[in-house]
Chains A and B, each alone.
Chain A
Amino acid sequence: MKCRECDEFLADYVSGELAADVLATFELHLSRCRNCRTYVEQYRLTIAAGKTACEAAKEAKGDMPEELIQAILAAARPVRDHSS
């Protein structure tokens, strides 16, 4: 396996979806190729960085403008009255 093939299998490798025989070949290449080991590590860190950066924003609360909440509740009234 060359670095190019390694790259093609990388997404399945990090998600643990490689078939056993491909995984063995992939890891054999990694054991011999420091550049690929570094790349795989950076690929993993990139995924983690995206998650960490966006999780922080996802957990942020309190930035929902009150006028938007009121607009949603006003729009809900006809639906609510119709369904009750």
Chain B
Amino acid sequence: MQDTIDRGQGENRPDLSLDETELLARLRSGYGSAYEELVRTYSGRLLAVARRIVGNDEEARDVIQDAFLNAFRSLPRFQGEARLSTWLHRIVVNSALMKLRTRRRKPEESIEPLLPAFLADGHYAEKFSTWGEQADTALSRTETKALVRRRIDELPESFRTVLLLRDIEGLDTEETARVLETTPNAVKIRLHRARAALRTLLAPHFGRGEL
């Protein structure tokens, strides 16, 4: 069964699936059932995205409500330049980041203690012991996944956000820089430090084989 529609030559856009094209047409015609289908189809996963970024249920619910309302208002301008799901995902990410910005700013803890130290001769100060296969095996367990998510939540916010946007939500460096209103180079540096810090936080668990 053909599940895509040829959008024609020269148009730099992904093919929308037939289901999405039909849903979009019904949304634009104002069918209530189409709005409900959109919300029921995508809201569960998008709520999880919002929860990961803002870090709690209550604010994640606010984010989802704001995001869907923004999406409904923006529907007339949506030209199918991305999949509906991708477009909604971006709106939720932006709404979640807006929510983070409105929070009262508190001084962020330094990430330095979680980064690897170096000796004067340029070698790592720590001798790393291999995690081996136990890390791979452990990651198939639900409790290990929950532990990894908790360790991600422990990262200082500006680093956690970059790690989530780049490694989890799949935004590229330029787009992450744009939504965070910073430079691509700053994103790259923060991402590297976030990963290094997360490695430090995971090492006691994966290294000792306690998982």
Contacts and interface: CB of A to CB of B under 8 A. Distances in A.
A83 to B, nearest CB: 6
Count class of interface residues, chain A: 35 or more
B124 interface: yes
Interface in B187-204: 188, 191-192, 195-196, 198-199, 202-203
A25 interface: no
B48 A38 contact: no
A50 B198 contact: yes
A64 B43 contact: yes
A53 B61 contact: no
Interface residues of B, number: 60
Contact of B196 (A43, A72, A75, A80): A43
A35 B124 contact: yes
A20 to B, nearest CB: 20
Contact of A75 (B69, B128, B131, B168): B69
A7 interface: yes
Q: Classify the secondary structure of A's interface with B.
A: helix
Contacts of A10: 192
Given A46-B202, A49-B148, A62-B44, A41 B124 contact: no
B122 A2 contact: yes
Interface of B: 28-30, 32, 35-36, 39-40, 43-45, 47-49, 52, 61, 64-65, 68-69, 72-73, 75-76, 116, 118, 121-124, 127-131, 135-136, 139, 142, 144-149, 152, 163-164, 167-168, 188, 191-192, 195-196, 198-199, 202-203, 206
Interface of A: 2-5, 7, 10-11, 35-36, 38-39, 41-43, 45-65, 68-69, 71-73, 75-77, 79-81, 83-84
